[in-house]
Amino acid sequence: MSARLLVIEDGSEYAEFARVFLGEELVVEEAHSAAEAAARLAAGDVALLLIDLRFERAPAEALVGDLAATAARLFDGDEARALRYLQDQQGTLILEALRRAGHRQPALFVHDFPPRRLANLRALYGDVSAVPSFDAAAIRAALRAALARAAAQGAPPR
Amino acid sequence: MSLASDERRRRFARLVHDVAKYVARTARNLPPPPAPVPAWAAAMLARDLYETAPPHRRASFLLDEITRGLDPTPELDRARALLAEADSLEREVRAADETALRRAASIAREVELVLRAAARGTP
């Protein structure tokens, strides 16, 4: 396969990993925010998403999520805790934003989600997989399976 | 004073995400011996241990920073000892000494396992 994989992260560690260990099978591209990812996906031809979960290095203004509203809703107005929450969950918030924009590509996280959390993500956002660690063989297998599912559903990437 | 349980959970989640996962990024994918560690993998392994992401500080420093204020546990003590050994190997690892690279990779893999075990044991 030579499908395009869009890596969404706040650094470059995932993309480096993907180019080194998955580059023979996938064309790897990078985005560093929801806005960058949406712009790249709007151009078409991306088949898969590999998303980091925590975005600690991204500037607050680049994060998905309303800081004040999150503070008011979840943390009794404490914006520091709300910022940590937005950073800690940014990958799933980006995925939510991309799904709302109509982008349905299978998404993979390198994270050890508890089974109920992963089931919830799938219920909310469709094709979501997770591999607990940077295990190249496991990640390759998960991406191949995701591509096969997408092909079986006849869902062209948009 | 002990940290609140939600802060403890967040710290252990950070340990898994920021230290355990990244420190073993290359180590768990090296070609097995007797194949030599490729030069590109040696450089990546050194970054994983000594410029760990995020935010590009050595893994031992990140471990100490994230665990500050947490009660000691056998797993955290073991991880700290392993990363101290990795730090002692830095010169040889950066020089791509094969024996040091293999030991450093073994350390990295064990650190991942130990920190995941520590996180699973967090109430």
Whether A11 and B112 lie within 8 Å, measured CB to CB: no
Q: For A109-121, write each residue's pLDDT tens digit.
A: 999 999 999 999 9
Sign for the pseudo-dihedral over CA of B27, B29, B33, B34: negative
Total domains present in chain B: 1
The single residue listed with the structure tokens 């990779």 is B105
Tokens representing A24?
Answer: 């023979």
User: Closest to B55 (Cβ–Cβ): which among A57, A111, A134?
Assistant: A57
Q: For A126-143, write each residue's pLDDT tens digit.
A: 999 999 999 999 999 999
Q: For A27-76, write each residue's pLDDT tens digit.
A: 999 999 999 999 999 998 999 999 999 998 888 889 999 999 999 999 99
DSSP B34-90: TSPPPHHHHHHHHHHHHSBTTTTB-HHHHHHHHHTTSPP-HHHHHHHHHHHHHHHTH
Q: For A95-110, write each residue's pLDDT tens digit.
A: 999 999 999 999 999 9
Residue ranges and CATH numbers for the domains of chain A are 3-153 (3.40.50.2300)
Tokens representing A86?
Answer: 């937005």
Interface of B with A (CB under 8 A): 10, 13-14, 16-18, 20-22, 24-26, 28-29, 40, 44, 53-55, 112, 116
CATH for B35: 1.20.120
Q: For B18-58, write each residue's pLDDT tens digit.
A: 899 999 999 999 999 999 999 999 999 999 999 976 667 89
- Look up the ipTM and state it: 0.88
Whether B116 and A112 lie within 8 Å, measured CB to CB: yes
Question: A18 — contact with chain B (CB < 8 Å)?
Answer: no
Phi-psi region of A45 (alpha: psi -120 to 50; beta: other; left: phi over 0): left
Domain range for residue B26? 5-120
For A93, half-sphere exposure in the C-beta direction (CA atoms, 13 angstrom radius) is 20
User: Closest to B17 (Cβ–Cβ): which among A54, A57, A135?
Assistant: A54
Chain A: closest CA distance from residue B74 (Å) = 22
How does DSSP classify residue A28?
E
